[in-house]
Structure 1
Amino acid sequence: MLKLRLKRSGRKRQPSYRLVVMENSSRRDGRPVEQVGYYNPITKQSHFDIAKIQKWLDCGVKPTETVANLLTKAKILQS
């Protein structure tokens, strides 16, 4: 099953995350199907490709709880 989830990148103690579509059984830093945005928790900077996210959500991809919270704050996902 495909999930919309975060993939960690960045240096030690300076995390940044990519928002990706991945198989739920693959490891956290594995190969994604598609990258649809990024999020930096230190600077609170984020960028989401709304068209790609909507396309995947319409195909039945489920976001993780953290990703759902981020998308709700960005007003992409209605709760």
Structure 2
Amino acid sequence: MVSIRFKRIGKRHQPTYRIVVAKKGSKMNGAYVEDLGFYNPHSKEVGLNTDRVKYWVSVGAQPTDSVHNLFVSQKLIEAEKRRSHKKSKKSEPEAKAEEAVTEEVKTEA
């Protein structure tokens, strides 16, 4: 399976990213199939080869959540933004504990 993802380049504390097409199992900064553009998060500068992006999406390449959100903001994909960060494992037990407390309060009343 092929994915469209960020490849980090740049200096320490000054990241810039290349948007590349790579095999799903390859290393983050490993070999890639094609370079589609770049993204600078500090200046919000984006350079994309839109024809090639549309081609790879039509062929079935899966963009990561962050890349998907970038494509949505650039209006290359007509979809809603995805949540790029998942809930931490610490917050799940706390939420369950809060639900249990509210259920106990309801049963007492």
Judge same fold: TM > 0.5, yes or no. yes
Q: Secondary structure at the residue paired with 2:17?
A: strand
Identify unmatched segments of 5+ residues in structure 1: none
Q: Structure 2-normalised TM-score? A: 0.71
Q: Which runs of 4+ in 1 moved over 6 A?
A: none
User: Aligned-residue CA RMSD in angstroms?
Assistant: 0.5
2:51 matched to which residue of 1?
Answer: 51
Alpha-carbon distance in 2 for matches of 1:58, 1:76:
12
2:81 aligned with 1:72: no
**Structure with the higher helix share, 1 or 2:** 2
Three-state SS of the structure 1 residue aligned to 2:52 is helix
Unmatched tracts of structure 2, length 5 or more:
80-109
Question: How many pairs were matched up?
Answer: 79
Task: Please state which structure has a larger fraction of its residues in strand.
Answer: 1
TM-score by length of 1: 0.98
Q: What is the CA–CA distance in structure 2 between the aligned matches of 1:39 and 1:70, rounded to whole Å?
A: 9
Q: In terms of Rg, which structure is larger?
A: 2
Highest RCO, 1 vs 2 (Cα 8 Å, sep ≥ 6)? 1
Percent identical pairs in the alignment equals 35
